[in-house]
Structure 1
Amino acid sequence: MTHEPGTTVRPQDDGTLRWGVLGATSYIATHLMPAIAATDGCALTAVASRPGRAAAAAELGRPFGAAAHRDYAALLADPAIDAVYIPLPNTDHVEWTLRALEAGKHVLVEKPMAMDEDGCARIEKAAEAASRTVMEAFMYRFHPQQRRAAEILASGEIGELRVVRASFAYRIESGSGNIRLDPDLGGGATWDVGCYAVDAPLLFFGRAPRRVRARFSSRPGLAVETSAVATMDFGEGRSAVVDYSIDYGPRAAYELQGTRGTVMVRNAWAMSGEDGVVTVLTHDGVREETVPAADHYQLQVEAFARAVRDGVPAPMPLSDSRRTARVGSALVASAAAGGAAVNTADDASGAL
C-alpha cells in the first residue's frame, strides 16, 4: 500500500486507467497485454522497447491500439499514461520503477521487484513520497486454486501446517540468447523461477524463515546457477523444502503438509484454458477438487487497478516483496558459502 487507506486515487478523465508497457516482447504480448486490454476500466495505451526495437514494439502493440514510444523515458513522459507494467531484465527493475514513480505513474513490476531488500525499501519510500501504488507481479497468487488451498488449510482439515514442499522449473536451452542466462542482467534460476519456489512457503506460513540453506548447480558452459535445492527453517518444527531449475521441467507444484493431511496443487501456473486441481489427502481418503479455469494475469491486473482506484492495500503488499528479496539474497549467500546456514529476519506479512 502506498497511500493512506480510504484515499481515492483516480485515473485521468473518464476513469479509464491508461497503461504503458516498458519492454515489449512476444511473451508479454501473449499474456499481459491481453489481460490489460480485457480488464474493465483499463486500456493499453502505449508500449516502448529498447533502442533499435521500436518497430517490433509497434507491431506488438498494434492489435491493442497502443501507440509506440521511441524509448522508455518517452513513455514515462507521456501525460496520458497512468500506470506502467515493467517486465525488463532483473537488474533494471529498481531503476525504472523509481523513474516511473518520479514521473507520477503507478507501477506493476515483474518479480523480482529487486534483487535485495534495500532495493525494495527504496521503492517503498519513493512510492510513499509519490502517493502511488507499486505492486510486484506474482500472477500465480491470483489463480483461485491458491485461494482454495489456503481455505482448506485455514479450515483445519489437514491440521497444523508443518512442511511446505515447492518445485518450480522449466528448461531454457543453452545458446538461446535468453536474458535469464546472462549474469550481467540478473540471470540465473534464483531470481527467475526461484521466486515462485521461495514465495510459496513464505505465503502459506505467513512469515519469513529463521534461516535457510541452499546448494546451487550450473549447467556446463553457463555462468549462472541453473538448478537449486534449498531448505528453510521456520522454527517450532516447521520447515520448507524447495527445488527450482531452468534445467528441467515444466513443473509448478507445491504441497502443504499438515499434522493430519496434505493439500497438493499440481500446476500453480495453470493458464486461462486450464482448470486448477487441488488434491486433499487425509486418513479419510483422497479427493480432488477442480477449480474452474481462470486468467491469473487478468485477475492480477484487476486487483492492481482496484487498489489504484479505491485507495485500498495492494493485494501483494510491499512487505511481502521485501521478505522475498531478503530470503532470495540469503539463498545466494548460503550457496556461495557451500550450503552454510544463513539467518533471515522474521517479519509480519500480508495474507492470501
Structure 2
Amino acid sequence: MTAHDERDSTLRWGVLGATSYIATHLIPAITATHGCALTAVASRPERAAAAAELGRAHGATVHPDYRALIADPAVDAVYIPLPNTQHVDWTLRALEAGKHVLVEKPMAMDEEDCARIEKAAEAASRTVMEAFMYRFHPQQRRAAEILASGKIGELRGVRASFAFRIESGSGNIRLDAALGGGATWDVGCYAVDVPLFFFGRAPGQVSAHFSSRPGLAVDTSAVATMDFGQGHFAVVDYSIDYGPRAAYELQGTRGTLMVRNAWAMDGEDGVVTVLTEDGVHEETVPSANHYQLQVEAFAAAVRDGAPAPVPLADSRRTARVGRAFVASAAAGGAAVVTSAQETEGR
C-alpha cells in the first residue's frame, strides 16, 4: 500500500452507521487519536436522528446514505461496522472510491471474498484491515512476549472461550440469519483468531458442534477442536447464549499462560498469569483503550504505506477456518481446512 497522500497529515474518517456501539467505542477512538478526525457520518434511515446527533456533536457532515459518504472527497478512510453480509460489498465500494478501510470482523465469510478485497486494495493502493481490536491491547503483546521467551516451553495447545449473551426478541442483527448472524461469524471470530494468531498458521482439520436457541435460525453456541498436527491443538467455545467471557490459555510443554479478560476495556487492568513448576507468577498490565490503539496502528500504516497490522493473510485464514467450522457442524464430523491461496507459517 502506498503512504497516505492527502494534502495534509490529518486522516479524515467517515463512519457507516450510528449505533450506540459506534458512538461509545469507535468514534471516541477516532477523535482521541492524534492526526485523525471524524469528518462524515451516514446511517440507515431509521438511525437518521442518531446520525444527526453524532454529526452535531463532532462537527461532522451527515450524509443521507452510505453511497454519498463514500463519494465524499473529504473522506480518506471509512469504518464499516455493518451487518456481516454487507462487509464485502461496502469494502469494495469504498476501495474503488479510493478510501482506506477499517472493516469489522468478519471481513468476509469466505476466503474468496477476502481475496477479492485484497486485489481491490492493491489496485487502489489503499490500506484495508479487519478490526480485531483485542489484538492491540498490551496484554496480548505481553502474552506473545512471554511465549517467545520460552518460559512456558513449546506451545502445544490453546484454549479460548469468548461469549456474551444476546436476548431473544432484541432485534439484534446477530440473531438474523439473512444478515450473516450467529455466534460463529461474530464472537466466534475472536475464539478462532486466538489459536490462529499464536500458532501462526491454520489447522489441518477442525471438528465443530453447533447449537441453536429454540426459535432462532442461527447458531448461538459452539464447541470446536482444531488439529494443527504433531500434537498441537486448540479447543474453543463461544456463545451468544451466555457470558460475558473472553479468556484464553496457552499451554506449553513447561507451563501455562492465562489471560482471563481479553476484552479488558479502558480503565480495566489486564492480567497475565503464568503457571510453571516454579509456581504462579501474575503480571498486571496497565489499562489501555484497545479501540484507540487499533485506530492509531491503522492510521500509522496508512501514513507510512506499511502493511496493515492485521494482515490480509490473517483475514483469509480466519474466513477459511470459519467456513470449515460451518461445514463440520453441518456434516456432523471433521472437516479438512484447505487453501490454494496461502503458504502457511509466519
Residue 87 of structure 1 and its aligned partner are, at CA, apart by 0.0
Q: Tell me the TM-score normalised to structure 2 length.
A: 0.98
Identity %: 83
Structure 2 match to 1:255: 249
2:310 pairs with 1:316: yes
Give me the whole-angstrom Cα distance separating, in 1, the residues matched to 2:234 and 2:157.
Answer: 5
Match of 1:244 in 2: 238
- Offset at residue 348 of structure 1 (A): 4.6
Q: 1:83 to 1:202 in 2, by over 3 A?
A: same
Aligned twin of 1:93:
87
Q: CA separation in 1, counterparts of 2:344 and 2:53?
A: 41
1:9 is displaced (CA, Å) by 2.6
Number of residue-to-residue matches in the alignment: 344
The whole-number CA distance in structure 2 between the counterparts of 1:247 and 1:109 is 25
- Aligned mates of 1:68, 1:223 — CA distance in 2: 35
SS in 2 for 1:53: helix
In the other structure, the counterpart of 1:148 is: 142
With 324-333 and 63-72 compared, the bigger mean Cα shift is at 63-72
The corresponding residue for 1:9 is 4
Distance in 2 separating the partners of 1:133 and 1:73: 20
* Counterpart AA for 2:259: V
Name the CA distance, whole Å, in 2 between partners of 1:115 and 1:8.
29
Structure 2: distance between partners of 1:273 and 1:133: 30
The 3-state SS of whatever aligns with 2:30 is: helix
User: Does 2:335 align with 1:345?
Assistant: no
Q: Aligned AA for 2:337?
A: T
Q: Tell me whether 130-139 or 341-350 shows the greater mean CA deviation.
A: 341-350
Which deviations, in whole Å up to 9, do the C-alpha atoms of 1:279-301 show, x marking residues without a partner? 00000000110000000000000
String of CA shifts for 1:290-338, please: whole Å, max 9, x gaps.
0000000000000000110001111100000000000000000000001
AA of the residue aligned to 1:204: F
Give 1:129 deviation, angstroms: 0.5
Superposed structure 1 runs of 4+ greater than 3 Å apart: 346-351
State how far apart, in whole Å, the 2-side matches of 1:348 and 1:155 are.
26
| Aligned counterparts of 1:181 and 1:256: Cα–Cα separation in 2 | 31
Candidates 210, 214, 227, aligned match of 1:220: 214
The 3-state SS of whatever aligns with 1:233 is: strand
Alignment correspondent of 1:128: 122
Q: Secondary structure at the match of 1:36?
A: helix
Query: Following TM superposition, by how much is the alpha carbon of 1:13 offset from its aligned partner in structure 2, in angstroms?
Result: 2.5
Distance (Å, rounded) in 1 between the aligned partners of 2:127 and 2:137: 21
| Cα distance in 2 between the residues matched to 1:112 and 1:269 | 17
Question: How far is the alpha carbon of 1:247 from its aligned partner?
Answer: 0.3
Alpha-carbon offset, residue 54 of structure 1: 2.0
Q: TM-score by structure 1 length?
A: 0.96
Contact 1:209–1:345 (CA under 8 A) maintained in structure 2 = no
In structure 2, distance between residues paired with 1:183 and 1:218: 12
- Extract unaligned runs of 5+ from structure 1: none
Residue identity opposite 1:345 in structure 2: T
Distance 1:157 1:348 in 2: 29
- Between the aligned partners of 2:256 and 2:46, the Cα distance in structure 1 is 51
Distance 1:284 1:299 in 2: 34
1:187 to 167, 181, 185: 181
Alignment of 1:1-352 (within 5 A): 3=1, 7-10=2-5, 12-338=6-332, 340-345=333-338, 347-348=342-343
**Distance across 2 between alignment mates of 1:221 and 1:62:** 40
**C-alpha contact 1:54 1:71 (8 A) present in aligned 2:** no
Alpha-carbon shift at residue 153 of structure 1 (Å): 0.3
Question: How far apart are 1:236 and its partner, in Å?
Answer: 0.8
Counterpart code for 2:171: G
- What is the root-mean-square deviation of aligned Cα atoms in Å? 1.1
Rounded Cα–Cα distance in structure 2 between residues aligned with 1:319 and 1:152:
24
Q: Look up the SS of the partner of 1:8 in the other structure.
A: coil
Write the letter of the residue equivalent to 1:248.
Y
Deviation at 1:51, TM superposition (A): 2.6
Aligned 8 A contact 1:19 1:82 in 2: yes
For residues 184 and 264 of structure 2, the distance between their equivalents in structure 1, rounded to whole angstroms, comes to 21
Structure 2 residue matching 1:28: 3-state secondary structure: helix
Distance 2:89 2:284 in 1: 41
